[in-house]
Amino acid sequence: LFGVLALASGIPVGNGFIIDGRIIILAIAGSFTGAIPAVIAALIMIGYRLILGGAGALPAIPSFITAVIISLALFPQLTQFTPLQLVRRLLLMGLIGAVQSLFWIALLGGTQSSQIVALAAFPLLLFTPLGTVLLGVLLAYQKQQAEIASALRASEERYRVVVTSLNEGIILQNAKGEIRTTNPATEAILGLTVEQIAGGASLDPRWQAIHEDGSPFVRDTQPSVMALRTGKSQTDVLMGIHKPDETVTWINVHAQPLFSGKSLLPEAVLTTFTDITEVRKAHEKLRQERDLLRTLIDHTPDYIFLKDAQGRFILTNTAHAYAAGNIQPEELIGKTAFDVFSPELASQFHEDDQKIMHSGEPLISAERETVDAHGDRKTVLTTKIPWRDKDGQILGLVGISRDVTERKQLESQTVVLAAEQERVRVLQRFIADMSHDFRTPLSIINSSTYLLRKLTDPEKREEKLKNIELQSDRMLKLLDDLLEMGRLDEKKVDFQFSTEVINPLIQMIVNNFQSAAALKQQTLEFIPDPALPSCPIDALKVSRAIINLVQNAISYTQVQGKITLSTRVEDKQVLLSIADNGIGISEEALPHIFERFYRVDGARTTSTGGSGLGLPIAKKIIEEHNGSISVESKPNQGTTFMIKLPLEVCDVEKIG
């Protein structure tokens, strides 16, 4: 359009030659609008110029084409430059356009070319650059304004989309507090339509705004009013809104004053708010659960505590705090076991904690001794488990301890009672046995005494006297065993240790019992270890223990039976074996043979009956030597007693 107008207002400079603004139009079209509009403009101008005809048409056509090419190739996107850079480039483009136009006139102008160039040079070189600059600046400004308007429209659209899609309520109020803008989230949160809200005041009575404590919000304390009055932001204001459906919505409000230029007074206020009703419900539920848990923790008699990785208490209950130091739970927070317990107890607790921290393994129902705030010793069952984060890293530990002092005392009393009951039972059995053991010899003595008075035959009288002596000796041994057991129990027996080889001692005992074994046609033998080393013993006491075992073997081995004693060394111990092929001991009786006053039923006769203390005395003597005695037996196959004596004395104070 500009090109056509420029052609219509051209200045003739010769026959068929016209000077106008076509070159300017084409150059501007190429630089500002791109190739397609520039080519279209060039075609229109070329066609129109051909219609006009004349000698000037021939150089005009290549001039038009050259102007388009120059603008597209050398001066594209001129709007990207600063104003000064734009003017420089437009001026340069105008000069180049004028020069190329003169070039084509000189080349294709024919016989008048020199004259035409002379006439057209000044106006072309003057007006083409100026026209290019003026028109280019105008178009650049218009294009810039169009781009700004387009950007504003796009920005407004984006703002509208963002505000509309927000879950957060937004209200824009002017300086008078009148609501000018809201978003759909506001309608959903407040329970009022946008039409009801728009143009109204933020303290519409339908809202019935309240504080957290239930008191009403007065206008002067409303966040938007405070922001407008003070010019300061109001943040994290909790407000309850009574909605039309009579429910209460809790919102967290932020009010931001908006200023214009350098004004000190806000011209508007932007209020944003978030519905935190569900969050408050969740928090309230958590608070109730926490309070319930706290109540349960504080009213349980068990000690409950939580420690961090450094051993500091970060949670405890009343029972634990009271036991630790007669203090309130909050006074224990931040302290360690070393701050409230004795160093000995604290070290024990710390050692348990470190094992759990390093191994990650819980401590379950471990019995521990502690001392409460009053200095009373307590027994507790402690369970500690690692406290981990979501990644499995150990943050500390959770502990629960239960005071079982009374239970332990009750168990101890139960054990004592059971022991006392067992003692009474054994004593009753002992009294019954002793009554039998004393009554039998006394009956024999009594009857023998009676017969002595009646008999006159010297041989028969001698036989009765021997019976009296035998039964007296038997009762005397019973009394000796009772006294010896009592002295051993009360640690009143003085052990005289000396280092000896026990083979000669055993041989002497075997020799002394040969006559007793011969009466039952038994074989009594001793197989010594010739390399047996010496060991620390009380020879007299060990002899008594061995004698008791040999007597036992002879008594419970049938006629023509065999009894073998042997010695050897094993694991730094002297071993003495006393084996027989006698009647043996049943499985039911075997665990009880070392119990005091215990004798296998069916073995009680005037010849085999004893005090029931022979084996317990032997066991006590061997144990005083830090040794041991054991037994193996099968009914009708025989019995083997094994005595073990250490080669070294464990208790040096026993050596005289």
What is the extent of the structural domain holding 369? 300-403
Query: What backbone torsions phi and psi does residue 71 show, to the nearest 5 degrees?
Result: -65, -40
Has this prediction a pTM greater than 0.85? no
Residue 155, in any domain of the structure = no
**Predicted pLDDT of residue 509:** 94
**Predicted pLDDT of residue 643:** 95
Residue 294, in any domain of the structure = no
CA distances from 453 to 446, 458, 462, 531 (A): 11, 12, 12, 59
CA–CA distance, 211 with 280 (Å, rounded to integer): 14
Four-residue CA torsion sign, 366, 369, 370, 372: positive
Q: Give the DSSP letter of residue 178.
A: B
Query: What backbone torsions phi and psi does residue 472 show, to the nearest 5 degrees?
Result: -65, -45
Domain CATH number, residue 219: 3.30.450.20
Query: What backbone torsions phi and psi does residue 188 show, to the nearest 5 degrees?
Result: -65, -40
Which pLDDT band, with edges at 50, 70 and 90, does 653 fall under?
Answer: very low
Residue 466, in any domain of the structure = yes
Q: Are residues 130 and 230 in the same domain?
A: no
Per-residue pLDDT tens for 510-552? 999 999 999 999 999 999 999 999 999 999 889 999 999 999 9
Q: Are residues 42 and 58 in the same domain?
A: yes
**Predicted pLDDT of residue 28:** 73
Q: Are residues 32 and 89 in the same domain?
A: yes
pLDDT average, residue stretch 58-70: 80
pLDDT surpassing 70 at residue 434: no
Q: Are residues 16 and 138 in the same domain?
A: yes
pLDDT surpassing 60 at residue 7: no
Q: Which range is least confidently modeled, 356-360, 439-443, 616-620?
A: 439-443
Q: Are residues 480 and 550 in the same domain?
A: no
**Which residue reads 């066991």 in tokens?**
619
Helix (H) or strand (E) holding 65: helix 57-74
**Predicted pLDDT of residue 567:** 95
pLDDT average, residue stretch 138-148: 82
Last residue of a domain, one of 385, 403, 421: 403
pLDDT average, residue stretch 371-395: 87
HSE-CB at 623 with a 13 A cutoff on CA atoms is: 11
Residue 290, in any domain of the structure = no
Helices (H) and strands (E) in the chain, counts: 20, 20
pLDDT surpassing 50 at residue 656: no
**Predicted pLDDT of residue 245:** 72
Last residue of a domain, one of 226, 256, 282: 282
Q: Are residues 636 and 503 in the same domain?
A: yes
> How far apart, in Å, do the first and last CA atoms of the chain sit?
140
**Predicted pLDDT of residue 652:** 38
CA–CA distance, 175 with 270 (Å, rounded to integer): 11
Q: Are residues 35 and 92 in the same domain?
A: yes
Query: Is beta strand 248-258 parallel, antiparallel or unpaired with respect to 394-403?
Result: unpaired
CA angle 453, 454, 459 (to 5 degrees): 90
**Which residue reads 């054991």 in tokens?**
630
CA–CA distance, 174 with 269 (Å, rounded to integer): 6
Is residue 562 helix, strand or coil?
strand
Structure token pair of residue 179 = 């609501």
Per-residue pLDDT tens for 245-281? 778 889 999 999 999 877 888 999 999 999 998 998 9
Domain CATH number, residue 438: 1.10.287.130
Q: What is the DSSP string of 451-504?
A: HHHH---HHHHHHHHHHHHHHHHHHHHHHHHHHHHHHHHTT-----BEEE-SHH
Per-residue pLDDT tens for 317-354? 988 888 888 888 889 999 999 998 888 888 999 999 99
Residue 295, in any domain of the structure = no
Cβ–Cβ under 8 Å, residues 59 and 108:
yes
Q: Are residues 6 and 130 in the same domain?
A: yes
Cβ–Cβ under 8 Å, residues 31 and 78:
yes
pLDDT surpassing 60 at residue 647: yes
Query: What backbone torsions phi and psi does residue 386 show, to the nearest 5 degrees?
Result: -65, 145
**Predicted pLDDT of residue 430:** 65
pLDDT average, residue stretch 620-639: 92
Q: Are residues 536 and 587 in the same domain?
A: yes
Last residue of a domain, one of 255, 282, 309: 282
Residue 209, in any domain of the structure = yes
pLDDT average, residue stretch 488-514: 87
pLDDT surpassing 70 at residue 3: no
Residue 110, in any domain of the structure = yes
Helix (H) or strand (E) holding 641: strand 638-646
Which pLDDT band, with edges at 50, 70 and 90, does 599 fall under?
Answer: low
Whole-number percent of the chain with pLDDT over 70: 86
Q: Total structural domains in the chain?
A: 5
**Predicted pLDDT of residue 416:** 81
Per-residue pLDDT tens for 78-102? 767 788 887 888 888 888 888 888 8
Domain CATH number, residue 578: 3.30.565.10
Q: Are residues 387 and 524 in the same domain?
A: no
Q: Are residues 374 and 421 in the same domain?
A: no
Residue 55, in any domain of the structure = yes
Q: Residues near 470 by Cβ (< 8 Å), separated by ≥ 6?
A: none
Domain CATH number, residue 140: 1.10.1760
Q: Are residues 528 and 584 in the same domain?
A: yes
CB atoms within 10 A of CB 224: 26
pLDDT average, residue stretch 428-448: 69
